[in-house]
């Protein structure tokens, strides 16, 4: 059912989907369902204590409008051609990205839920060198929704490019044995359970834990590690600049790479705060819970 609905709606032009989002999805989500509004207000209040209530409320509304746009953009991209996608997502320093990947036999992209994170897989369509893109995902509870999202994610980067997180280590060993050069997208700003908290730091004025998968696996497999900096140029058009964190992860102290990710992510969000996914219960746990 989910795939059928996406297939039907994806036949519409993006502007038509935006119109549906503006007229139906946004008011329904924000005013009627009030989807996680209390949590978003709490997150914004704690993250921007110097803002006035009116400024935070305006930011809140901008966030929900952008969140609605992302939903519409994901649906539209289900049928979008590579040529169409190139008009909407621009990789600024592709030559550098490929150079780092080829030098180390692979590159890890650490990214947050900024801009339209689902469109990162489009980098496969931009490579001029022999590099295969993979992206780690967490299986959704609803089988139909999971199948639809996996199909969407693999549409541009190729069959088998989506790696379920529990299969990641095995796949990385397989890739090392095959000697293939690859890039790997790792969303690294999720809520972290106390038992999985790898590193703690101050993030938006709050004690915050981060996952360590990108750092630990980058060291183990000796790949370049980078941050994906996303900005919005205009509605539905995103600019991506990949910033190198290190070409030699094994030489860094524990937590250093994750700290660099946290600082780069915070800087990225501050540029356009409405682009981050504020509906995540990011600060549910404290350091004491760990």
Do the domain assignments include residue 290? no
Do the domain assignments include residue 136? yes
Q: Which residues contact 60 (CB under 8 A, 6 or more apart)?
A: 37, 40, 41, 44, 278
Domain housing 200: 2-283
Supply the Cα-derived Rg of the chain in whole angstroms.
Answer: 19
Give me the pLDDT at residue 122, please: 84
Do the domain assignments include residue 35? yes
pLDDT tens digit at each of 290 positions of the chain? 666 777 788 899 999 999 999 999 999 999 999 999 999 999 999 999 999 999 999 999 999 999 999 999 999 998 899 899 999 999 999 999 999 999 999 999 999 999 999 888 788 889 999 999 999 887 767 766 666 666 666 666 666 678 888 899 999 999 999 998 999 999 999 999 888 889 999 999 999 999 999 999 999 999 999 999 999 999 999 999 999 999 999 999 999 999 999 999 999 999 999 999 999 999 999 888 77
Give me the pLDDT at residue 1, please: 61
| Distance (Å, whole) CA 152 – CA 266 | 28
For residues 258 and 198, the answer to whether their CB atoms sit within 8 Å is yes
3-state DSSP assignment of residue 285: coil
Do the domain assignments include residue 246? yes
Do the domain assignments include residue 55? yes
Give me the pLDDT at residue 161, please: 75
Number of separate domains in the chain: 1
Do the domain assignments include residue 289? no
Do the domain assignments include residue 288? no
Give me the pLDDT at residue 144, please: 66
Question: What is the reported pTM?
Answer: 0.93
Q: Which two tokens stand for residue 270?
A: 């501050």
β-bridge pairing 206-210 and 162-164: unpaired
């Amino acid at each position: 059912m989910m795939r059928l609905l996406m297939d039907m709606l994806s036949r519409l032009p993006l502007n038509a989907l935006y119109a549906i989002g503006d007229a139906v999805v946004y008011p329904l989500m924000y005013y009627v369902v009030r989807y996680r509004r209390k949590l978003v207000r709490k997150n914004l209040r704690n993250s921007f204590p110097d803002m006035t209530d009116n400024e935070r409320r305006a930011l809140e509304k901008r966030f929900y409008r952008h969140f609605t746009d992302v939903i519409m953009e994901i649906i539209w991209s289900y049928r979008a051609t590579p040529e169409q996608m190139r008009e909407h997502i621009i990789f600024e320093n592709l030559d550098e990205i490929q150079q780092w990947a080829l030098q180390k036999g692979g590159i890890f992209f650490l990214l947050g839920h900024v801009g339209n994170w689902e469109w990162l897989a489009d980098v496969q369509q931009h490579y001029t060198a022999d590099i295969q893109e993979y992206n780690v995902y967490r299986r959704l509870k609803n089988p139909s929704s999971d199948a639809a999202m996996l199909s969407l994610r693999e549409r541009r980067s190729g069959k088998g490019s989506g790696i379920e997180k529990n299969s990641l280590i095995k796949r990385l060993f397989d890739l090392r044995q095959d000697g293939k050069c690859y890039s790997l997208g790792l969303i690294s700003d999720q809520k972290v359970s106390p038992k999985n908290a790898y590193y703690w730091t101050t993030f938006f004025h709050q004690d915050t834990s981060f996952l360590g998968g990108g750092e630990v696996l980058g060291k183990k497999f000796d790949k370049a590690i980078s941050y994906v900096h996303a900005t919005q140029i205009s509605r539905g058009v995103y600019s991506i600049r990949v910033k190198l964190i290190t070409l030699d992860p094994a030489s860094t102290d524990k937590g250093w790479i994750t700290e660099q990710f946290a600082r780069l992510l915070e800087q990225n969000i501050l540029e356009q705060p409405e682009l981050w996914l504020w509906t995540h219960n990011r600060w549910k746990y404290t350091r004491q819970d760990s």
